[in-house]
Amino acid sequence: MPTGVYDHRGKNGFQKGHPIYPGSEKGWIKKGQKLSPEHRRNISLALIGNTRTLGKKHTLDWRVAMSERQRGSGHWNWQGGRTPLSLKDRRGVSYKVWRLQVFERDDYRCFDCGERGGDLEAHHIYPFALFPRLRFAIENGITLCRQCHRKRPKPITPNRK
């Protein structure tokens, strides 16, 4: 066995009896050391920092105002409203409602294999990108399981070759 310096600490970086942080009258608090409830509370408050707001909650009006300040150009990652309309449609409530209505109409069964439940996906018969007017038409959707959806041929869209 080669000689040298070895680190005998465990996977989490602590060794039994190794000091964790200062704070007790005796010096460092050891792992596994029992602390009084008062001492635990003092450590908790010290780690939190500002004890004046501990346990207090913002009013609903204040939370709504904070939320509004973080929307649009007030958000730190605002990039000038670059999100494409198709992406907004896919992430919107209308798409989720359409998807749920398609699943309910098909009784949560795959159109191709008939499997009920599992990993279901709502498939657009007429492609989402090519037919914006039919995006949320229930007649334009069928329920497919993930495997059957992958077997379906992909439509040729203007930006795909």
Segment-wise mean pLDDT, segments of 10 residues, the chain, 161 residues: 53 56 55 81 74 76 91 88 86 93 96 92 92 93 95 76 52
The answer to whether residue 8 is domain-embedded is no
The answer to whether residue 39 is domain-embedded is yes
The answer to whether residue 133 is domain-embedded is yes
The answer to whether residue 159 is domain-embedded is no
Question: How many domains is the chain built from?
Answer: 2
The answer to whether residue 75 is domain-embedded is no
Q: What's residue 136's pLDDT?
A: 94
Tell me, yes or no, whether 42 and 92 share the same domain.
no
The answer to whether residue 134 is domain-embedded is yes
Partnered with residue 27 across adjacent β-strands are 24
Q: What's residue 76's pLDDT?
A: 87
Q: What's residue 111's pLDDT?
A: 93
- Residue 131 CB: number of other CB atoms within 10 A? 13
Amino acid at the residue 19: P
DSSP state, residue 49 = -
**What domain range includes position 106?**
87-151
Under 8 Å between Cβ of 141 and 122 = yes
Q: What is the pTM of this model?
A: 0.52
DSSP alpha helices (H): ranges in 49-127? 60-69, 85-91, 93-105
